[in-house]
Structure 1
Amino acid sequence: METASMTANDGAPFFLPRDPRTAHWYFSGNKPLITLLIVAYVYIVKVGGPRFMKNRKPYDGIKPLITFYNAFMVVCSAYYVYAFFTTAYIRIGYSPICQGIDFDARDEGTMHLLNLFWWYTMVRILDFLDTFFFVLRKKDSHVSFLHVVHHTMVAFNGWFGISYGADGHSMAFTVINGSVHVVMYTYYFLSSLGPEVQKYLWWKRYITQLQLVQFVVLFVHSLLPFFFNCNYPRSHTYILMPQAAFFFGLFMNFYVQSYQKKTHVSTKPVANGKMH
């Protein structure tokens, strides 16, 4: 099959045909559905939700639900990290340096990996609840450009992988990103337990640093198919690399605004409880 030999440095078309192994799966290749999903999400969190909450008090009664949700996400993310790693790199024998996609591969291990990715994408779409909780609790400052774009791109990437090939080289980043989600949701879970626990969560800033590192790793790792001929589609590479650079910039700006400037301000002299 011709698409099986497309590499990052050949003359392959930018967009690949649908992955034949998942062509009949729900959500695969469904452009109207992914478009509707993203548009509806953005509308709800930026327009409809705030409008609904305008004259209402925050729904703080959902805190137990948020705690359960965060614990659930920790368990889910940890499971998928383990499942992806053991299936791809131990069972199938993936190379962590450069791994192509064989669109003819329908062995048990490969199909299990693709099935895992489908369910993992559903879990990442469930991440939309993060934002819905912010809206219901009127924490509008948390519904930032970075937050919304990140969630929409995660949903798009999952759809793209299911539709055009989720296995291969990008599986390394799926494992890394899943590991970051384990740390992130562990922090959220502990934070939701209240002030007695929150005072020990001094390491929040290091989560952002970890996110920055993952985008550097993604960018560098995405370059490898240009130097190693491992039959990885260039369309995937062209989608991954700009995203890595884009999100690195957004998260770096968030880090500077949240931590570096606060550190600078906190060093100023304080008189009568006010900073000057």
Structure 2
Amino acid sequence: MTSFFTYPWELYDYMWSFRDARIESWNSNVTKGTFIIPLVLGYLYIAKVGGPRWMKDRKPYDIKGLILAFNVFTVLANLFVMCQMLRLTYVGGGYSFLCQGTGSGDSERDMAVVSLNWWYLLVRIADFLDTFFFVARKKFSHITFLHVSHHAQVVLSGWLWLNFGSDGQPVFGICLNAFVHVIMYTYYFLAALGPSLQRYLWWKKYLTTIQIAQLVVVCTHMSLPLFIGCGYPRALSLLSMAQILLGVVLFTNFYLKTYRAGGKSGPAIDEASKPKEQ
């Protein structure tokens, strides 16, 4: 390979040649690495360095109303993506739940699926606000390696899949992930309404378990193209499985540490809206 690719950018050009041709004509910065990579690096800097430094001599901001509005937006956005994606694929698009290859068609339905993945990436970018809320409220202890790495990884992988294979097999994981976000942010919103609802929110302790179960199910589902020839690239399946398994390890570690610390099991990610801290 070293004799074939004389310069690093030749390898980049070669890999980029496999990009989904359907989005090459899109005039969108979100699909470009020159936008996403600096965006993620900027997020990491603000989360771990710039944000805490800027807030050092400032009082925490009271942004409860803003967080409540963000909870509602996140629930509605994820619910929309899930329902629309199901309508276009498994429910009305003839997708196979078992194994579905990536498409290359430019029909109205095919382009709608790809476009919806673009919107879903924007929703995941908006999740960066969770971390910024921590910074604004000086809850720096919540900006953990798990929290930051998860948000950064989800955006990078979403960008990668958008460019190289966002339809087909990953659609199942997108729908399930959107559903889990609906559950999580519904809880956050209800809990923030006041103590009168606390007795109805007994299911809080299951949120992290749901997150781990989601990862296990999606990882298993993404492994199917390795054994079933349905047209989805095996390299993308392996890459997805590696990413998800890392998430399983990190989430499970959080789960076990939380139980050892006192038997509580709150959600591992997206905790910016925990009402007891507002």
For residues 6-36 of structure 1, the C-alpha deviation after alignment (integer angstroms, 9 at most, x for no partner) is: xxxxxxx987611000112213651121110
Q: CA deviation at 1:196?
A: 3.4
Distance 1:98 1:48 in 2: 44
**Match in the other structure for 2:10:** none
Distance change >3 Å, CA 70–CA 84, structure 1 → 2: same
**Match in the other structure for 1:124:** 124
| 8 Å contact from structure 1 (residues 18, 29) kept in 2 | no
Runs (4+) off by over 4 Å: 13-16
| 8 Å contact from structure 1 (residues 81, 175) kept in 2 | yes
**Match in the other structure for 2:61:** 59
For residues 171-209 of structure 1, the C-alpha deviation after alignment (integer angstroms, 9 at most, x for no partner) is: 001111110000111112123223333454332220100
**Match in the other structure for 1:184:** 184
**Equivalent of 1:38 in 37, 40, 43:** 40
| 8 Å contact from structure 1 (residues 28, 163) kept in 2 | no
| Largest Rg, 1 or 2 | 1
Distance 2:221 2:94 in 1: 18
User: Given the two structures, how large is their TM-score scaled by the length of structure 1?
Assistant: 0.86
1:68 is the counterpart of 2:80: no
Of 152-161 and 20-29, more deviation after overlay is shown by 20-29
Runs of 5+ consecutive residues of structure 1 not aligned to the other structure: 1-12, 265-276
For residues 58-93 of structure 1, the C-alpha deviation after alignment (integer angstroms, 9 at most, x for no partner) is: 102x10111011011111111111111111112221
Q: How many residues align?
A: 250
1:71-90 alignment to 2 at 5 Å? 71-90=72-91
| 8 Å contact from structure 2 (residues 82, 178) kept in 1 | yes
Distance change >3 Å, CA 46–CA 28, structure 1 → 2: closer
Equivalent position amino acid for 2:100 in 1? Q
Equivalent position amino acid for 2:126 in 1? L
Looking at both structures, which has the greater relative contact order when contacts are Cα pairs under 8 Å and sequence separation is at least 6?
1
| 8 Å contact from structure 2 (residues 103, 110) kept in 1 | no
Distance 2:110 2:16 in 1: 22
For the aligned residue pairs, the C-alpha RMSD in angstroms reads: 1.8
1:245 is the counterpart of 2:229: no
Distance 1:37 1:136 in 2: 19
Runs of 5+ consecutive residues of structure 2 not aligned to the other structure: 1-13, 265-278
